[in-house]
Amino acid sequence: MLILFFFRRYNKLFRFLLKVKRTQLDLQQVWAAYMGTKHLSTAQLSNMTKIWLARMHMAFLIDNLQYYLQVSNLSDIIDWVLAIVCCHSFS
């Protein structure tokens, strides 16, 4: 049935969105931990700067991926769902 197929795909998409959100939260926790390292020596800060830059690049990618998936794709999916719901009877 078409509706069951849709709901399976919809659940798969939202599981992926949850993974993206968890990754985003983990990256934010790394930022918070980095902010607590200001008392380190210069050599230690040099290593932390490399980690910080990697974190910034990953956060940029994840933030934009999440935005794209939620705004671009979900609006299309919601329109598609509404069209299916309006055309099918659930009785």
Give the integer Cα–Cα distance in Å for 52 and 85. Answer: 47
Give the integer Cα–Cα distance in Å for 59 and 2. Answer: 36
Spans of the chain, pLDDT less than 70: 1-2, 37-38, 40, 45, 88-91
Give pTM, 2 decimals. Answer: 0.62
Structure tokens at 12: 């798969």
- Looking at residue 39, its pLDDT comes to 72
**DSSP symbol at 72:** I
